[in-house]
Amino acid sequence: MPGLAQRNEQYSSASFGFWSKHRDDVSYNQLQKFWSELPLQARQELLRIDKQTLFEQARKNMYCSRCNGLLLEGFLQIVMYGKSLQQEGVAGSLHYNRPGLSKSPSDGGLSMPDGSQDEIQNPSVHPWGGLTTSRDGSLTLLNCYLCSKSLKGLQNVFDSACARERERELLYPDACGGG
């Protein structure tokens, strides 16, 4: 996903992939087509990671104790946020029955009459940049990102995560950063 930020007309019309300059790589249009045709349940499975796998990956990357502690603290805060959404009856997503917000059956996404879809998919309006946990405790994305047919919202989430990582590096310069 990091290469999506580089998308422009030259990349979309060229046969190059968006991760590299190699012709055999996946193009943005191919990825967009794949995503738009993927059923919601498959998207949910694709963009989730359970707690055990997350921490096993951190161990494999040899995170120092400080980085591991920051990861655990962040994960627990996201879990608490996910639980608060579930208690509010939101089930890890924006509430589809909220006034002015409706589920659009034609495109599988959210629609808003006043055109504030971009605001919903702005990670900065969500406490954890679009991250939440499912009922089983797996880390996932809010449904406003999973239901969207466009990759723009997902790119916003990944860009926001990169920005938060840079902020952490500035706040904790003595932490290893994962290796």
Tell me, yes or no, whether 123 and 147 share the same domain. yes
- Local mean pLDDT, 10-residue blocks, the chain (179 residues): 43 44 75 90 92 87 80 88 78 38 40 48 76 87 87 84 85 69
Tell me, yes or no, whether 59 and 80 share the same domain. yes
The number of folded domains in the chain is 2
Residue 172 lies in a domain: no
Tell me, yes or no, whether 1 and 28 share the same domain. yes
Residue 58 lies in a domain: yes
3-state secondary structure the chain: CHHHHHCCHHHHHCCCCCCCCCCCCCCHHHHHHHHHHCCHHHHHHHCCECHHHHHHHHHHCCCCHHHHHHHHHHHHHHHHHHHHHHHCCCCCCCCCCCCCCEECCCCCCEECCCCCHHHHCCHHHCCCCCEEECCCCCEEECHHHHCCCCCHHHHHHHHHHHHHHHHHHHHCCCCCCCC
Tell me, yes or no, whether 59 and 118 share the same domain. yes
Tell me, yes or no, whether 22 and 107 share the same domain. no
Range of the domain at 20: 1-37
Tell me, yes or no, whether 60 and 16 share the same domain. no
Residue 169 lies in a domain: no
* pTM greater than 0.85: no
